[in-house]
Structure 1
Amino acid sequence: MHLRKSKVFSQKIYWLNKLSGELPETNLILDYIRPSLSSTKNKSVNFDLSHDLSQETMKLAKGSYFSVYLILVSALNILLQKYTRNNDVIVGIPIYEKICTIDLSSKVIPLRIQITPEISFKDFLFQVKDSVIGAYSHQNYHFDELINLLKIPKSLNRCSIFDIVVLLENIHNKNSLNHLNNDITFSFLINDKKISAKIEYSEQIFQNETIQLIIKYYTNVIESIVSNIDTKISDIVFLKDSERYHLLKQFNDNNKNKEYPIEQTLNKLFEHQANKTPNNIAVVDGQTKLTYQELNEKANQLAVMLRQLGLAKGEFVGIFKDRDINFLIAILAIYKAGGAYVPIDSTYPSNRIEYMLSNSEVNFLLTDTSLLTVLTHLINNCPQLKSIICLDEVIPENIQLTHNQELTIYDKLGFSNLPKENLEAVNEGIDTAYMIYTSGSTGLPKGTVIRHDGAINHIYAQFDQLELRSEFCFLQSASSSTDISVWQFLAPLLIAGKTVIVDIETVAIPEKLFKALKSQKITVVELVPALFGGLLEYTSQLTSQERELPDLKWMMLSGESVSVSWVNKWLQIYPEIKIANAYGPTEAADDITQFIVDKPLPENQRTIPIGKPLANLNLYILDEQMKLLPIGVPGEICVSGIGVGAGYWKNEEKTKLSFVTNPFTETKKNLPRNRADLIYKTGDLGRWLTDGNIEFLGRIDNQVKIRGFRVELGEIETFLGQHPNVRENVVVADQEEPDNLQLVAYVVVKTEPVPSISELRSFLRKKLPDHMLPSAFVMLESLPLAPSGKVDRKALPKPDNLRPELETTYVKPRNEVEHLIVDTWQKILKVEKVGIQDNFFDLGGHSLNVLQVHSKLRELLKVDLAITDLFKYPTISSLSNYFSQKDDSDEVFASETNQISQKLGAGKARLKQSFVRKKQSI
């Protein structure tokens, strides 16, 4: 008895050691959503290794069944390493009943293998042999006890620890596995000197095409290893030449070398259109409209001034202002003068604005008079800045921004009387068109440089994809600091279309957005999923007649992933308005792929594909060694072709890491002169689907998209770590609900007292844009670590969904007004429990939420409520008291207005703050 206990204890210790640490999930990516209950393996595919391959395999195994099994298991592990992108692999193997001494409830045990790509297959085979023998030597331990011991959660719809089982019927009892709740079973049989195989799977989670591809690639692996047992694992061939050709050529065959005017510039193409249709309306902004001729002439006048001030070809010019007609005039004028524009968002924190002004080395800055005061505190550290041109007003004579005698400030009188004729063009298609700053992991934004030809190719490729013609009317709704805004501003102007500019309030409030789409007869609207969801919710509550949008042809979605359910709901309401799910990085001139959805998708479909390459672009799914990956295998999405930009401004190190020489001669194209054939490595994870579309799978690194903005989580961590009482922190993107991505910060403090959430958020607000502020903060005593010593992000506790961790005590609403406000906050913030003392921003509120709450409360309460009031009274209690008392005293008007202006880009509010130093009502 003592000896038996000793053996049981020994086996227990073995499994505890073998399965310690974070267990890898070894499975194929499912084709469909996993059912809530177990999916029966009701399908099977039989295949045989060829006679020659079977003979070579058995010869390598020297006729031993067990050795053949080791080879088959080893080959499968190598294939699964590719499919999982993990060198740590677990599969299930049946027990070896000949040496089993007890009756076990489960006849399968886990086999965990560490794969080192640099070793030979021969050495790996010995490693697998040792692991299999070790597992069989300790197989007399009840599997259920092992699950309980490791505290692994049990599930009704999958097997614990492993999803894939591999067996050889010559040495294993296959019948003992009939009730096993795993996803896929590989069973082999050696018969008549030939190796036959069967893959059993559930059609509820896998397509037959997926299984057929696995068979093909698995066979390729075996052929590669038996031909040379000393081959390094990293050199094993997964793709044959015909399969490489299929990926490189056939999956990119929609390109067909489309001929677009990429040797031209955006300004020349616009001038050509202005000459053809001078009297067509080109742009609408509220009550203001300009024809093509008027827009062209105003841009020419500003361009003349820039030339007179000495703007050099290719030089960057900053645009620091809100989106309006003057913003579009500024873009065109900069192009006509030979420069490139840099959008600098006026709502960003001052340190970020100052960095962008300094780093871009702009000598010229186009702005509004209402922003001059904001600039006062920034430009002293930008000695290269020579000229500021205000586009909207005449500057008061007594304005003084700086002691820099070389800096001159101009207003619209400086260019409004200049010549209106087109200037002689000095730029070409290969010249820089714009630079957009994106989030950087080091805490400093990166300036991404894009040329005219890349932007033109994107615009014309979308013309073809969406079949857009001169009736094209586009809603310009995206922030000027995103690449989406570029083609929203400019695309319609190249084919006699119309650009309709709307402010952030119109975009954020579904009712106003719907009215704009209808009244302006918008043809194409492009939204991030968060805004799309709000519009969808609003229109679904309207009657069939009320919700009609007869002019809208396309709903474009971009910036982040959207759920199948939302897309299906839209198409049920608007079956004639197709959805274009677009994907693309700023570094490749916006969209590089697109998937058109014209009818509802199956409810069990996991994701909306991002589609196929746009014209004159080539897409690749690559591993860490820049090798092509098979269909269905996840890897980095990479792109080559005319859209690839010029890299990162003044950042050679990051440019060399992300922009690499294209090694695939099969896809090289005749690029314009002075254009290297580069591949841009997006850092995004994706896989080819069998139909040639790509599925987006997330990020390889710690980067996410929030409301269309790229966010490096490392940048938030860098700034949060600068708080004097934060010892360490980690920021993650949490998505408990589909289409609702939230940033969560986990913080470990140095000393007591623990900083409040308000303090941490206020600290970050001074350093980061609104879209980069975490929605929730979770205080921890320490960060959980994985065995590697890195932060174990999977072990981080989920934030409380009922109510974020706040320093305030929950206080329930006291009257009907407070109940209405609570209900509004809970619905818009997606928080299930809000107290009247809770701070709106501590609950995760941001500027878009403010606009939505403002609109809803005005509708429900029928009160005269200013947007500024929501910032002045950020709790329901204070807002309720404001409604009841209507106290007009406002001692902190100036500071509050400044805060709101920074948030919402309210130009008129800034103008009042700058030049009217007295109390007044907004």
Structure 2
Amino acid sequence: MGLHLHSNDLLSQKVYWINKLSGNLPETNLMLDYVRPLVSSAKNKSFRFDLPNNLSQVILKLTKGSDFSTYWILVSALKILLQKYTRNNDVVVGIPVYEEISTDCVNGKIIPLRTQVTPQLSLKDFLFQVKDAILGAYNNQNSNFDELIKLLEIPTIPNRSPIFDIVVLLENIHAKDNLNLVNNDITISLKVNAESISANIEYKEDLFQHESIKSLSRYYINVVESIMNNINIKISDIVFLKEPDKYQLLKAYNNNDREYPVEQTINKLFEKQVSQTPNNIAVFHEETQLTYQQLNQKANKLAELLRKLGVQKGEFVGIFKDRDINFLIAILAIYKAGGAYVPIDSTYPQNRIKYMLSNSEVRFILTDYLLLNSLSLLVEDCSKLSSIICLDDMILEKTQFANQTGLKIYNKSDFAQLPNDNVEHINDACDPAYMLYTSGSTGLPKGAIVRHDGAINHIYAQFDELELTQEFCFLQSAPSSTDISVWQFLAPLLIGGKTVIVNIETVAIPDKLFEVLKSQKITTVELVPALFGGLLEYTSQLPSHERQLPDLKWMMVVGETVSVSWVNKWLHLYPEIKIVNAYGPTEAADDISQFIVNEPLPENQRTVPIGKPLANLNLYILDEEMQLLPIGVPGEICVSGIGVGDGYWKNEEKTNFSFVPNPFTDAKKRLPENRRDLIYKTGDLGRWLTDGNIEFLGRIDNQVKIRGFRVELGEIETFLGQHQNVRENVVVVQQEEAGNLQLVAYMVAKKEPIPSISELRTFLKKKLPDYMLPSDFVMLESIPLSPSGKVDRKALPKTDNIRPKLETAYVLPQNDIERAVANIWQEILGIQQIGIYDNFFELGGNSLLAIQVISRLRKVLHTDIALRSLFDEPTIAGISHYIESVREKVKKLLVVSSASVSDREEIEF
């Protein structure tokens, strides 16, 4: 094929490239296997492969022996493949200049080739688009690209090409000289040898594994073969996977069938365990403990009352109270009565609690007397609510509240004398076990329903994975509104182990957490990364003989991504205590995969994998069309099998969107006859690794996890947008340091005066839980947009550069207490200068950081400071005044204790 190209003047060439490279340049590369080093010292490695002879001959016949046309076809196939790898239709690769053109450029110069890969386009149309783009690039190949990079303000970083990462060339028409000066990551060299086509992939060994490059070559051949078989095919219909590839993804990677008692209910399995180990300690909280028999009898009494009140098979019953032994009794009693429990966190904002009570349509709520006053303000719109049962020992006057609301209120005396025998079972394995409310993008949380069989499968799969026995002692530390809490409460009770319940303060303060792990001989602990990091920092500072945890076998890290460096640091301190990196959505009964780390990972590994699917579950990585994606290609993590729940309560639209029929008939697991085989689409991004593990890559949409709680950023944006003076806003997650994710709200005000930070925090605090409150608020003149009109999140200023403007003048600490407080705040918040009237939460503080502050203050100042104090007094001046008052009270008490009786009568408090 002859080329008749005309040379353009340099000005017109510059205009061509400015138009071609304007806007945000996409990253066109394979996902890296290792962290990119600042300076690369590793040599490039290569992998050679041949296209099958028959395929080579088809290409050469179609192109009639033209080297240019052969190159054009092969480049088009690569771009189609890279569109899958990058999840971006905008694809840029580097191509060498075409030396047949009369040009002043130097041998080995590489120019960018940018084209759109539109899935709905026909292959024939796409091929001609690529041809035109190649010719356009060659017609303008004399431009000074160093000058263009500066002109277009394209970011440059060491050890990387600024515009493209992959170069593709045909040795028959391109020179390979000086390619090492380009600093790209991958070079694909193609060559026509008589009637065959060969290829060589040269890649940076410190970025990619050999198996990843080998997989790329296999899928590339598949694409070339697919397009040669049908030149009129749509891009979206091109075959990336052959039957052996599909078998590997559907069968080999999901080969995990197991026999578990999923035809039973949790209450039946618990009662069976009671008969086997009646005198074992089942649960411990503070100074109270119960044996299996005692726990069972107490649950039976409460279940008798619930059954008398009319709890129906599969009915939802609310639990509105703090976590303690009575909470566990409530769960078991609800199961025995035939119902399913709905935990409702009493610390949530009133509007959220009201919605959950109303939406769940619960007729019965289990609570404590101290929460009755709170409930009286929340049950106005709960037309179906009929009874409230108080579980604690307090007996207070209850008629006033009952008269106000028309509700029947019961206390412990109403069921303490009831029979303690097991009640007749009326629920089945297919009935709901619990409903948890998750964050909703519309501002309303969704009730995710999980059945007994799904919950049991998860628990028994973990018994197998972690080799758990009667020695299993589990720390129950997660809030009751999270899926983590479910198996923390229940799993030990199905195997003869012990559940140890602790409050949030204990688990959030490292020295207290360490002490309970040791004193209670905990064998398994499950923490979100922020709490794991706090414990890791604390134990690393202890002498080796003091840091020992001889009973702990498993450290489970869940909820968010954990860094490789933290995992390695833990294994260095505790080589015998394995790390379990678990992953799973609420909608599929908690964990659906996990990766066990037995030994330190390579320091340059990017992430800790989330592992392989748990027993009786299938995992898939799918594209937007629900098609299987090749190994290494990012897509949505989806799950099928018995763990998949029953959808969202009274939300058919959301249920039908996220729970879809399973099209992969070859990979179906054995399910009960009454169960539909559904796939749950998690909305999370991941990819298969070549060893059959999955790497988690974040949320596809704007949903993230903060300290183990799932958060949809759209929900926060919805409520923030309801403020009368916020015109538009966007909320993002930023990671200031490893394991510490922060919510940041960017806003544009409607008019003066601009709302203050404290005003915005107060406004949101009435509508959202603490974990959903942004740490930073940044006011902008406008929200940056991409060329397509979408919010350009990458263009939002980092809070490292723009801190929220504080609303008080800087005032130095005035005394020793204020200086001690300021030093601790500065260390924990990472801010160098904090005034005594600056607000802790406006500086980026959150509830977990507040707990760390209180813990440090107690240690440094030797004063018993209440956890709530920092929330009540969020300035250095305020908390310092509080500390002084506590110290004064202590002094007076000391005086009283040493004074005579007559002297004490004269002392005023």
TM-score band w.r.t. shorter chain: over 0.9
Say if 1:314 and 1:432, in contact at 8 Å, map to a contact too. Answer: yes
- Kindly report the root-mean-square deviation, in angstroms, between the aligned alpha carbons of the 2 structures: 1.8
**Partner of residue 671, structure 1:** 671
**Partner of residue 30, structure 2:** 28
Tell whether 2:426 aligns with 1:426.
Answer: yes
1:144 counterpart (139, 143, 146): 146
Deviation larger for 38-47 or 506-515:
38-47
Q: Distance in 2 between matches of 1:365 and 1:594?
A: 35
Report how far residue 543 of structure 1 moved: 0.7
Say if 1:283 and 1:499, in contact at 8 Å, map to a contact too. Answer: yes
Q: 1:289-317 deviations in whole A, cap 9, x for unaligned?
A: 10101000000000000011111111100
Q: Secondary structure at the match of 2:868?
A: helix
Report how far residue 863 of structure 1 moved: 2.5
Tell whether 2:188 aligns with 1:174.
Answer: no
Say if 1:525 and 1:555, in contact at 8 Å, map to a contact too. Answer: yes
Distance 1:73 1:293, change over 3 A: same
Report how far residue 170 of structure 1 moved: 1.3
Q: Secondary structure at the match of 1:22?
A: coil
Tell whether 2:128 aligns with 1:126.
Answer: yes
Q: Secondary structure at the match of 2:572?
A: helix
Q: Distance in 2 between matches of 1:405 and 1:378?
A: 10
**Partner of residue 52, structure 2:** 50
**Partner of residue 646, structure 1:** 646
Distance 1:436 1:805, change over 3 A: same
Report how far residue 188 of structure 1 moved: 1.0
Deviation larger for 832-841 or 223-232:
832-841
Q: 1:256-283 deviations in whole A, cap 9, x for unaligned?
A: x211110110001001111111111100
**Partner of residue 542, structure 1:** 542
Q: Distance in 1 between matches of 2:142 and 2:848?
A: 60
**Partner of residue 619, structure 2:** 619
Report how far residue 394 of structure 1 moved: 3.5
Letter of the structure 2 residue corresponding to residue 668 of structure 1:
K
Q: Secondary structure at the match of 1:389?
A: strand
**Partner of residue 162, structure 1:** 164
Q: Distance in 1 between matches of 2:347 and 2:209?
A: 48
Q: Distance in 2 between matches of 1:176 and 1:433?
A: 65
For 1:487-526, list aligned pairs within 5 A.
487-526=487-526
Q: Secondary structure at the match of 2:181?
A: coil
Letter of the structure 2 residue corresponding to residue 457 of structure 1:
N
Say if 2:580 and 2:597, in contact at 8 Å, map to a contact too. Answer: yes
Q: 1:602-629 deviations in whole A, cap 9, x for unaligned?
A: 1011110000011000111111111111
- Structure 1 portions without partners, runs of 5+: 890-919
Q: What TM-score, normalized to structure 1?
A: 0.94
Q: Distance in 1 between matches of 2:311 and 2:350?
A: 26
Say if 1:507 and 1:531, in contact at 8 Å, map to a contact too. Answer: yes
Report how far residue 665 of structure 1 moved: 1.1
Report how far residue 888 of structure 1 moved: 8.7
Identity percentage of aligned residues:
71
Q: Distance in 2 between matches of 1:801 and 1:374?
A: 42
Q: 1:701-744 deviations in whole A, cap 9, x for unaligned?
A: 00000000000000000000000000000000111322111100
**Partner of residue 411, structure 1:** 411
Q: Distance in 1 between matches of 2:556 and 2:192?
A: 54
Deviation larger for 100-109 or 260-269:
100-109
Q: 1:78-129 deviations in whole A, cap 9, x for unaligned?
A: 0000000011100011112332533459711111110111122111100000
**Partner of residue 93, structure 2:** 91
Say if 2:475 and 2:488, in contact at 8 Å, map to a contact too. Answer: yes
Q: Secondary structure at the match of 2:113?
A: strand
For 1:377-416, list aligned pairs within 5 A.
377-397=377-397, 399-401=399-401, 403=403, 406-416=406-416
Report how far residue 804 of structure 1 moved: 4.2
For 1:868-879, list aligned pairs within 5 A.
868-879=868-879
Letter of the structure 1 residue corresponding to residue 17 of structure 2:
W
**Partner of residue 591, structure 1:** 591
**Partner of residue 16, structure 1:** 18
Q: Secondary structure at the match of 2:249?
A: helix
Say if 1:801 and 1:831, in contact at 8 Å, map to a contact too. Answer: no
For 1:719-730, list aligned pairs within 5 A.
719-730=719-730
Q: Secondary structure at the match of 1:96?
A: coil
**Partner of residue 331, structure 1:** 331
**Partner of residue 227, structure 1:** 229
Report how far residue 404 of structure 1 moved: 5.6
Letter of the structure 1 residue corresponding to residue 302 of structure 2:
L
Report how far residue 850 of structure 1 moved: 2.4
Q: 1:194-236 deviations in whole A, cap 9, x for unaligned?
A: 2121111111111111111111000010011111111111111
Q: Distance in 1 between matches of 2:321 and 2:399?
A: 18
Letter of the structure 2 residue corresponding to residue 491 of structure 1:
A
Q: Secondary structure at the match of 1:760?
A: helix
Q: 1:804-861 deviations in whole A, cap 9, x for unaligned?
A: 4322233333343222212211233343432222101112222222222222111111
Report how far residue 190 of structure 1 moved: 1.2
**Partner of residue 220, structure 2:** 218
Q: Distance in 1 between matches of 2:884 and 2:631?
A: 64
Q: 1:285-344 deviations in whole A, cap 9, x for unaligned?
A: 010010101000000000000011111111100000000000000000000000000000
**Partner of residue 470, structure 1:** 470
Report how far residue 381 of structure 1 moved: 1.4
Q: Distance in 2 between matches of 1:735 and 1:705?
A: 12
**Partner of residue 781, structure 2:** 781
Letter of the structure 2 residue corresponding to residue 812 of structure 1:
L
**Partner of residue 279, structure 1:** 279
Report how far residue 136 of structure 1 moved: 1.0
Q: Distance in 2 between matches of 1:100 and 1:819?
A: 73
For 1:439-454, list aligned pairs within 5 A.
439-454=439-454
Report how far residue 356 of structure 1 moved: 0.2
Say if 2:443 and 2:718, in contact at 8 Å, map to a contact too. Answer: yes
For 1:98-113, list aligned pairs within 5 A.
98-103=100-105, 107-113=109-115
Q: Secondary structure at the match of 2:202?
A: strand
Letter of the structure 2 residue corresponding to residue 505 of structure 1:
E
Aligned pairs, number: 886
Deviation larger for 135-144 or 811-820:
811-820
Say if 1:394 and 1:413, in contact at 8 Å, map to a contact too. Answer: no
Q: Distance in 2 between matches of 1:887 and 1:707?
A: 33
Tell whether 2:858 aligns with 1:858.
Answer: yes
**Partner of residue 607, structure 1:** 607
- Structure 2 portions without partners, runs of 5+: 1-5, 890-907
Say if 1:16 and 1:150, in contact at 8 Å, map to a contact too. Answer: yes
Q: Distance in 2 between matches of 1:571 and 1:236?
A: 45
Report how far residue 5 of structure 1 moved: 13
Letter of the structure 2 residue corresponding to residue 187 of structure 1:
S
Tell whether 2:300 aligns with 1:289.
Answer: no
Letter of the structure 2 residue corresponding to residue 382 of structure 1:
C
Report how far residue 58 of structure 1 moved: 1.1
Q: Distance in 2 between matches of 1:97 and 1:41?
A: 28
1:191 counterpart (185, 189, 193): 193
Letter of the structure 2 residue corresponding to residue 84 of structure 1:
T
Distance 1:45 1:398, change over 3 A: closer
Report how far residue 800 of structure 1 moved: 2.8
Report how far residue 248 of structure 1 moved: 0.6
**Partner of residue 917, structure 1:** none
Say if 1:39 and 1:202, in contact at 8 Å, map to a contact too. Answer: no
Report how far residue 885 of structure 1 moved: 6.1
Q: Distance in 2 between matches of 1:870 and 1:167?
A: 63
Say if 1:379 and 1:402, in contact at 8 Å, map to a contact too. Answer: no
Q: Secondary structure at the match of 1:136?
A: helix
Say if 2:391 and 2:412, in contact at 8 Å, map to a contact too. Answer: yes
Distance 1:242 1:308, change over 3 A: same
Q: Secondary structure at the match of 2:9?
A: helix
Q: Distance in 2 between matches of 1:276 and 1:126?
A: 74
Q: Distance in 2 between matches of 1:155 and 1:733?
A: 24
**Partner of residue 560, structure 1:** 560
**Partner of residue 833, structure 1:** 833
For 1:222-261, list aligned pairs within 5 A.
222-253=224-255, 255=256, 257-261=257-261
Deviation larger for 353-362 or 35-44:
35-44
Q: Secondary structure at the match of 1:572?
A: helix
Q: Distance in 1 between matches of 2:828 and 2:178?
A: 53
Letter of the structure 2 residue corresponding to residue 222 of structure 1:
V
